[in-house]
Amino acid sequence: MIKFTKILNAMISIENEGVFVCECVEYDGKVWIVPEWKDYPAKGYSRPARIICLSNLPHTGRFSGVDYVLRDPIPRAVYDGHPTEEQRKSYFVIENPEVFVDIRA
């Protein structure tokens, strides 16, 4: 049986690219940024292609309509799922996590 999670949001920035709101999910007791979704409409759900742990990064709580605000920019390589070995020391990225969001309206 699939257990669905709810979508949260966070204000993040990517190095040298600006600030925007990104969707997040709760997984394994932590909050994770979702840079990209895989949709499965016939099955009624979406899954993150990858997630980046927000809980381990400096952030604040609810502000200006978002659930979280990340204090420091994320490198583009991390956001795109290609962190360097050095970046892996600071950013925890999981590919194809077992996270499901109900898209049946």
pLDDT tens digits along 8-18: 999 999 998 99
pLDDT at res. 5? 87
Q: Which amino acid would we find at residue 26?
A: E
pLDDT at res. 63? 83
Q: Is pLDDT at 74 greater than 90 in this prediction? A: yes
Element (H, E) at 14: strand 7-14
User: Residue 85: pLDDT band by 50, 70, 90 thresholds?
Assistant: very high
Q: Is pLDDT at 105 greater than 80 in this prediction? A: no
